[in-house]
Amino acid sequence: MDPMFLRDVEQYDGEGAFSGLIRSMRSQGHAFPQIWHMFAFKPKMTEHLERFTQELMREEAPLSPGIRELIAAFTSYENDCPF
State in Å, rounded, how far the first CA of the chain is from the last one.
12
Which phi and psi (to 5°) does residue 71 adopt? Answer: -60, -45
Residue 61 CA to residue 47 CA, distance in Å, equals: 22
What element of type H or E holds 72? helix 65-78
Integer CA distances (angstroms), 61 to 67, 69, 80, in order? 11, 13, 27
pLDDT of residue 6: 86
* Domain spans of the chain, in order of start: 7-78
pLDDT tens track of the chain, all 83 residues? 677 788 889 889 888 899 999 999 999 999 888 889 999 999 999 999 989 988 988 999 999 999 999 998 899 889 887 65
